[in-house]
């Protein structure tokens, strides 16, 4: 019987059997940031353990940093302490750090691929749930907790058990203005936030093959939102072309050998998945979440559902609570709902392609009065490119704030927050209660949808506005 891509990568990383069904797997790349690493270094110090492979660990500062000013102090005293702790821990252990002042600093899941640290066939971990992003390159990439960060620092390995496999096939061609963000929201809507629990999801099908690496990263980024341990996509020519020439990618000397290996990374035709889901990509419409978890999502032209329409009583109750938190009523059209804040950014949608899509909608228009809109590029590289392409000027001319790279308003942990009761069209990945600030109301959308909402001051169906922009 054939093997799935996940099984191939898993097996090639088994260092040994720990006990029963638990294997010790080798970790190729370990990414760390300021929030989930300090206790791990403290633990190492306490136990007198060194970092085994500082050369395979890379650090950045993103969560707790200000994107308004480049300063350790800007997001408060405790944040400064965390940033300083990371800098000291990296210096002490010889770990490469892209600190706040480094030109390529950015969100950990944006810079990993950008620097070529993320490569097909790898096992990549980070103390952050959206590590699933890196699966877009055909790597097993998943988030871990701080105890596991300590374990990886000490041993460069992690105890694991084989996960179940889920195949998500997205067939057909996407309509104009339907983006990878809409695809993953539709998939989560169909499978539910726990639909992937215990599984590693492999995305395939024509709609996926046609996606750029940026789009594939958006897709895999949110696979954690359906509970999947990881999401991955078999590498192909698009993947190889993206990686070639990046600073930490294989050099010319090893390039052909690396590509030859990467070409062996696919699920065999007779591989058995534990679960298979098919979705017709041509039927997907631009999506907007209406509730407080990502499965509470509708197409922009659908009415907000009535709690009674859910046959599952617990889902009905969750819908009732979500509507009350979100200040929405069943049957309402989101195209009648005004927004206060628009946030374009986060590890889901802060890459150059996302900014191009948003800028295409914004070009020559102005942000509606009373709306606060910001664009936060995912990294220094994205920022420089967007400035060179004139996208930054487009945003600024329209009335958007143009920021330094970082997580910003995705999580309300730095100096950017959505106030209580305010409604935000956000390109991030979580619409949980209070995620963007206590009492904040988040609607997840694609960059084009967010840009359109900023201009209109309310949600609009981006596929119905004709301004010559293409998706």
Partner 1 sequence: MSDIFAKGLVCPLDKNNVDTDQIIPKQFLTSVSRDGFAEALFFDWRYLADGSANPEFVLNEPQYQGASILLTRANFGCGSSREHAPWAIQQYGFNVIIAESFADIFFNNSINNGMLLISLSAANIDFLFNRSKQGPQQWQIDLTNQEILLGNNTAIGFSIDADVKQRLLSGLDFIGASETLSPQIDAYEAQRRSAMPWLG
| HSE-up (13 A, CA, CB side) for residue 173 | 3
The site partner of 107 among ligand SF4, partner 1, none (C-beta below 5 to 8 Å per kind) is ligand SF4
324 binds partner 1 (CB under 8 A): no
Among 1, 314, 331, 370, binds partner 1 (CB under 8 A): 314
> For residues 220 and 456, which CB has a smaller minimum distance to ligand SF4 in the complex?
220
> For residues 7 and 414, which CB has a smaller minimum distance to partner 1 in the complex?
414
Which residue blocks in 309-350 are alpha helix, DSSP H?
A: 313-326
The site partner of 190 among ligand SF4, partner 1, none (C-beta below 5 to 8 Å per kind) is none
Among 87, 154, 397, 465, binds partner 1 (CB under 8 A): 154
- Using the Cα atoms of residue 146, residue 57, residue 428 and residue 438 in order, give the sign of their dihedral: positive
Find the Cα–Cα–Cα–Cα dihedral 218, 340, 66, 147, rounded to 10°: -50
The site partner of 386 among ligand SF4, partner 1, none (C-beta below 5 to 8 Å per kind) is none
* Range 86-145, binding ligand SF4 (CB under 6 A): 107, 109, 128, 130
> For residues 208 and 265, which CB has a smaller minimum distance to partner 1 in the complex?
265
Among 32, 410, 448, 462, binds ligand SF4 (CB under 6 A): 410
- Minimum distance, C-beta of residue 89 to partner 1, in the bound complex (Å): 10
Q: Which residues contact 78 (CB under 8 A, 6 or more apart)?
A: none
Hunting for tokens 């506005």 — which residue is that?
Answer: 465
Please tell me the distance from the alpha carbon of residue 362 to that of residue 452, in angstroms, as a whole number: 7
Among 103, 159, 176, 245, binds partner 1 (CB under 8 A): 159
Query: Residue 230 belongs to what H/E stretch?
Result: strand 230-232
Which residue blocks in 363-424 are alpha helix, DSSP H?
A: 380-388, 391-398
* Range 184-243, binding ligand SF4 (CB under 6 A): none
- Using the Cα atoms of residue 254, residue 134, residue 285 and residue 385 in order, give the sign of their dihedral: negative
Please tell me the distance from the alpha carbon of residue 68 to that of residue 374, in angstroms, as a whole number: 11
Residue pair 116/355 in contact (Cβ under 8 Å)? The answer is no
Q: Which residues contact 464 (CB under 8 A, 6 or more apart)?
A: none
Which window, 141-149, 236-244, 301-309, 455-463, contacts partner 1 (CB under 8 A)? 141-149
- Minimum distance, C-beta of residue 364 to partner 1, in the bound complex (Å): 37
Among 87, 93, 99, 146, binds partner 1 (CB under 8 A): 146
Structure tokens at 360: 């295409």
Strand order across the beta sheet in which 230-232 lies: 230-232, 199-204, 164-171, 275-280
The site partner of 428 among partner 1, ligand SF4, none (C-beta below 5 to 8 Å per kind) is ligand SF4
Among 3, 42, 389, 415, binds partner 1 (CB under 8 A): 42
**DSSP per residue, 202-215:** EEESHHHHTS-HHH
The site partner of 367 among partner 1, ligand SF4, none (C-beta below 5 to 8 Å per kind) is none
* Range 18-77, binding ligand SF4 (CB under 6 A): 62-63
Please tell me the distance from the alpha carbon of residue 30 to that of residue 44, in angstroms, as a whole number: 16
Residue pair 292/322 in contact (Cβ under 8 Å)? The answer is yes
Q: What share of the chain is helix, strand, coil (3-state, %, to 5)?
A: 40, 20, 45
369 binds partner 1 (CB under 8 A): no
Which window, 176-184, 286-294, 403-411, 450-458, contacts ligand SF4 (CB under 6 A)? 403-411
Binding mask 83-112 for partner 1 (x = CB under 8 A): --x---------------------------
> For residues 194 and 329, which CB has a smaller minimum distance to partner 1 in the complex?
194
* Range 167-206, binding partner 1 (CB under 8 A): 193-194, 197-198
Binding mask 267-296 for partner 1 (x = CB under 8 A): --------------------------x---
Q: Which residues contact 397 (CB under 8 A, 6 or more apart)?
A: none
> For residues 4 and 346, which CB has a smaller minimum distance to ligand SF4 in the complex?
346
The contact set with ligand SF4 (CB under 6 A) reads 62-63, 107, 109, 128, 130, 346-347, 407, 410-411, 428-429
């Amino acid at each position: 019987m054939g093997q799935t891509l996940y099984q191939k990568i898993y097996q090639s990383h088994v260092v040994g059997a720990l006990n029963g069904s638990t294997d010790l797997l080798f970790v190729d790349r370990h990414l760390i940031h300021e929030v989930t690493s300090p206790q791990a270094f403290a633990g190492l110090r306490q136990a007198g353990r060194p970092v085994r492979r500082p050369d395979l660990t890379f650090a950045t500062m993103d969560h707790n940093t200000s994107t308004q000013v480049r300063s350790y102090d800007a997001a408060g005293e405790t944040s400064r302490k965390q940033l300083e702790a990371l800098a000291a821990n990296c210096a002490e252990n010889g770990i490469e750090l892209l600190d706040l002042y480094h030109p390529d600093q950015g969100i950990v899941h944006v810079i990993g691929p950008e620097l070529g640290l993320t490569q097909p066939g790898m096992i990549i971990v980070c103390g952050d749930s959206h590590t699933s992003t890196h699966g877009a390159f055909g790597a097993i990439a998943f988030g871990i907790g701080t105890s596991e960060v300590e374990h990886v620092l000490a041993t460069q390995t992690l105890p694991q058990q084989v996960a179940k496999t889920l195949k998500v096939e997205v067939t057909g061609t996407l309509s104009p203005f339907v983006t990878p963000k809409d695809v993953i929201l539709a998939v989560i809507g169909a499978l539910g936030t726990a639909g992937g629990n215990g599984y590693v999801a492999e995305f395939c099908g024509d709609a996926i093959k046609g996606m750029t690496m940026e789009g594939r990263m958006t897709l895999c980024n949110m696979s954690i939102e359906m509970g999947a341990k990881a999401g991955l996509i078999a590498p192909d020519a698009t993947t190889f072309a993206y990686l070639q020439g990046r600073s930490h990618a294989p050099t010319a000397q090893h390039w052909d050998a690396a590509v030859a290996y990467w070409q062996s990374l696919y699920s065999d035709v007779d591989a058995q998945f534990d679960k298979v889901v098919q979705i017709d990509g041509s039927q997907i419409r631009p999506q907007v979440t209406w509730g407080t978890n990502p499965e509470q999502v509708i197409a922009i032209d659908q009415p907000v559902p009535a709690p009674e329409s859910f046959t599952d009583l617990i889902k009905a109750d969750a819908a009732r609570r979500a509507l009350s938190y979100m200040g929405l009523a069943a049957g309402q059209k989101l195209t009648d709902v005004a927004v206060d804040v628009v946030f374009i950014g986060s590890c889901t949608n802060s890459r150059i392609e996302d900014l191009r899509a948003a800028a295409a909608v914004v070009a020559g228009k102005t942000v509606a009065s009373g709306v606060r809109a910001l664009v936060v590029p995912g990294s220094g590289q994205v920022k420089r490119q967007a400035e060179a392409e004139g996208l930054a000027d487009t945003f600024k001319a329209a009335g958007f704030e143009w920021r330094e790279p970082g997580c910003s308003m995705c999580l309300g942990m730095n100096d950017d927050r959505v106030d209580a009761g305010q409604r935000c069209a956000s390109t991030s990945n979580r619409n949980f209660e209070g995620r963007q600030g206590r009492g904040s109301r988040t609607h997840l959308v694609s960059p084009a949808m967010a840009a359109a909402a900023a201009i209109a001051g309310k949600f609009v169906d981006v596929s119905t506005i004709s301004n010559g922009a293409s998706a």
